[in-house]
Structure 1
Amino acid sequence: MAIKYLRTAYASQLQPGQPASLRSGAPLKEPGGDYEALHKQMKRLFNSKPGKKYGRFSDDIGECPFGGWLKDYVEEKQSFESLTDRLFGQWQELLNGTQEEHQGHLMIVHEALADSEVVYLLILESDSALRLDAQQQLDATDILSLSRLNLAVRIELNDWLGDNQGENFLTLIHGRGTGDAGELFIKLCGFTNQIDVEKETLTFLDAVEAFAKNSEPQDAGKVRNRAYEFCKEQHALGEPVAIDALSEFLDEAQPERFKEFASQSAELPESGVLHPDHRKVKKLVRIAGSGGGMSLSFSSDLVNQAVYYDRDTDALTITRLPKALREQLQTYLEGRE
């Protein structure tokens, strides 16, 4: 990982109706060291965050000029400093109109990877910490949070401006509870949603389940597990699921088999890429449910092996109980007796 440029600004709006204040740092070229470590941690949080949204820049350049400014920077029509001056200025203007208090650091990072270039725009949050000052008096201070990230966007420059331009080159994190600041951040990014994640999750699940049922009975569980593992790995990398790659992963001997099957049994996007919610994809390998004071979860492979369901009586029989559960039941029953 190599940071080409990085810059931060601290913005605060503590009295709604009054002008927001903003203090920006100097543009840093290839800052290295601690900045690389900070960005690496933010990327880890970004990739692991569930519920991401995928889209593109809004066509309304007047309301959302960031895309145009960024393109001018990439095409070397303006400097990184000029780009960020404009971006920070717009963020301050947007905060002027909010009716909620806000304070936080806005960080923009231009990162060069081995085969692509990416720009991140993030709101860094703070945690409160205690320290002893030079006079050994207890003092409260704010430090950057390394465990929370609720507002961020990633722009895949190659997908956006490359020869094979994609339609969904923005990945957005918009956490719950971010209020006005969250909506203003979306406006700052110029993000417009193009992906129905729920629909694509169902498409993914239906295609894999149909393929598993169409396979040999002894291979069905293996198909579901490998599909889930592939999806989980892609989520950890912060990447969507490419049908070509998934097809090869499911059957290395016949790498086109799943792709051909899915194209006939499901409505796949023209891009050949799906953005399933990895939390819901877990249904492929686990059966879970809760209610009425009960919560159950077990591997789907255990059905008719250690877990038996009788449809007529709506009864579930579980054998080979986990040791910890067996000990808890025995202790509880002994106490009751």
Structure 2
Amino acid sequence: MAIKQLRVTFASQMQPGQEAQVRPGKPLSEPGGDYEGLHKQLKRLFNARPGKKYGRFTDDIGTSPASAWLRDYIEGKLGFESLTDKLFGQWQELLTSSQEEYYGHLMLVHEALADGEVLYLFALESDSALRLDHEQALDATDVLSTSRLNLALRLEVEDWLGDHPSENFLTLVHARGTGEPGELFIRLCGFTNQVDVEKETLTFLNAVEAFAAQTEEPEKAGQVRSKAYEFCKEQHALGEPVAIEALSGYLDEDQPERFQTFASESQDIPADAVLHPDHRKVKKLVRISGSGGGMSVSFSSDLVNQAVYYDRENDALTITKLPKALREQLQRYLEARQEGGEQ
């Protein structure tokens, strides 16, 4: 069983200025299939969530003591029940200071995997649903959402306390619109941001484009871009960053160090670098798109100078080999215009 420990608490703050209420459940060391299924789905949502942030624990333990409690727990100095009592108690204090109403569940999960141990803290979402009560009358009730996740944290234990610690062992989901409770969740976790995702995305794109440009064969350059995008997309689905060494081996199995060496020598990217590119923006490697002035255009980058030609001097785009559906739409439109003109 992957889950070693799990515990849920309900917290509410319905009257700002008064003490928030928490109702923790029992710690579960063998939570069973339903909890395993819920955790698996929440991990899917976590991995698929765009715009995640990467960082570490703040050094201000006085304000955010979670890191000290978690370290004691991992080192066996604190039991799971005591850990969650402290963590949920801190959440109660933070919500008491909030000026916004809040109610919802927190779930802490300690998971053991083949490649290391991971802790997740989820702020569970709920949806309203209708049911029939025992008198067959409609009644509204809240059910857990398995399609939304706006606040969550993942801690990679090995990256934090292992023999080769990383600077970025925390991954945070912090969606827009979570308001003050979202900021309090970050304080509870003690998260501090260490990664500029936009900068790392640009670094990734520039390195791949420069590497692809080395070849004079458009088809091979396109293959480099496509494979780099595929690798980035796969890592995103797994919730993992992009290691330059692993990417290099994926791009060229025969010469697995070729891209790694190129990135180090010409792009000043360390050979052991790990990047966190935004997979949505990395799509620029394989798609060229733009919209404005009533026009929207999108096509594969492989089609440049093959079916799509750009005239820089006249700022004109010529498209050949039109898709069948587009060609038929244009023909119908022109025929209708012509018939309308004849009338």
TM-score normalized with structure 1 length: 0.97
322-331 or 92-101: bigger deviation: 322-331
CA offsets, 1:122-171, max 9 Å, x none?
10000111111221111111111111101001000011010111110000
Residue segments in structure 1 that go unaligned for 5+ positions in a row: none
Determine if contact 1:2/1:30 at 8 Å carries over to the other structure: no
Cα distance in structure 2, aligned partners of 1:105 and 1:331: 56
CA offsets, 1:265-286, max 9 Å, x none?
2232575211111111011110
Cα distance in structure 2, aligned partners of 1:145 and 1:18: 28
Stretches of 4+ aligned residues off by more than 6 angstroms: none
Cα distance in structure 1, aligned partners of 2:47 and 2:282: 17
**1:31 maps to what in 2?**
31
Cα distance in structure 2, aligned partners of 1:290 and 1:263: 36
CA offsets, 1:169-207, max 9 Å, x none?
000011001000110000000001111111111110111
**1:242 maps to what in 2?**
243
SS in 1 for 2:168: coil
Determine if contact 1:117/1:157 at 8 Å carries over to the other structure: yes
Determine if contact 1:7/1:28 at 8 Å carries over to the other structure: yes
**2:296 maps to what in 1?**
295
CA offsets, 1:4-63, max 9 Å, x none?
000001111111111111111000002120000000000000000011111000111111
Cα distance in structure 1, aligned partners of 2:92 and 2:44: 28
Cα distance in structure 2, aligned partners of 1:271 and 1:9: 40
Q: How many residues align?
A: 337
CA offsets, 1:235-281, max 9 Å, x none?
00000001111000000000000000000122325752111111110
**1:110 maps to what in 2?**
110
- Going from structure 1 to structure 2, the CA distance change for 1:271 and 1:194 (only over 3 Å counts) comes to farther
Aligned residues with identical type, % of pairs: 74
Question: Are 1:52 and 2:52 counterparts?
Answer: yes
**1:122 maps to what in 2?**
122
SS in 1 for 2:213: helix
**2:142 maps to what in 1?**
142
- Give the AA of the match of 2:286: V
312-321 or 100-109: bigger deviation: 312-321
Cα distance in structure 2, aligned partners of 1:323 and 1:128: 45
Determine if contact 1:61/1:68 at 8 Å carries over to the other structure: yes
- Give the AA of the match of 1:171: T
Determine if contact 2:16/2:99 at 8 Å carries over to the other structure: yes
Cα distance in structure 2, aligned partners of 1:118 and 1:103: 26
- Give the AA of the match of 1:94: L
Cα distance in structure 2, aligned partners of 1:336 and 1:143: 54
**1:230 maps to what in 2?**
231
Cα distance in structure 2, aligned partners of 1:199 and 1:6: 36
Question: Are 1:152 and 2:121 counterparts?
Answer: no
Determine if contact 2:244/2:272 at 8 Å carries over to the other structure: no
**2:253 maps to what in 1?**
252
Q: CA RMSD in A?
A: 1.2
Q: CA deviation at 1:216?
A: 4.1
Determine if contact 1:203/1:267 at 8 Å carries over to the other structure: no
Question: Are 1:316 and 2:338 counterparts?
Answer: no
Cα distance in structure 1, aligned partners of 2:284 and 2:130: 43
SS in 2 for 1:88: helix
- Give the AA of the match of 2:148: R
In the TM superposition, what are the counterparts of 1:1-337 in structure 2 within 5 Å?
Answer: 2-217=2-217, 218-268=219-269, 271-337=272-338
270-279 or 3-12: bigger deviation: 270-279
Cα distance in structure 1, aligned partners of 2:268 and 2:63: 34
118-127 or 132-141: bigger deviation: 132-141
Cα distance in structure 2, aligned partners of 1:267 and 1:135: 71
- Give the AA of the match of 2:40: K
Cα distance in structure 1, aligned partners of 2:332 and 2:16: 58
Cα distance in structure 2, aligned partners of 1:96 and 1:267: 48
- Going from structure 1 to structure 2, the CA distance change for 1:290 and 1:117 (only over 3 Å counts) comes to same
Cα distance in structure 2, aligned partners of 1:307 and 1:270: 36
SS in 2 for 1:214: coil
Cα distance in structure 1, aligned partners of 2:107 and 2:331: 55
Determine if contact 2:16/2:98 at 8 Å carries over to the other structure: yes
CA offsets, 1:215-237, max 9 Å, x none?
34241111000000000000000
TM-score normalized with structure 2 length: 0.96
SS in 2 for 1:29: coil
- Going from structure 1 to structure 2, the CA distance change for 1:331 and 1:131 (only over 3 Å counts) comes to farther
Residue segments in structure 2 that go unaligned for 5+ positions in a row: 339-343
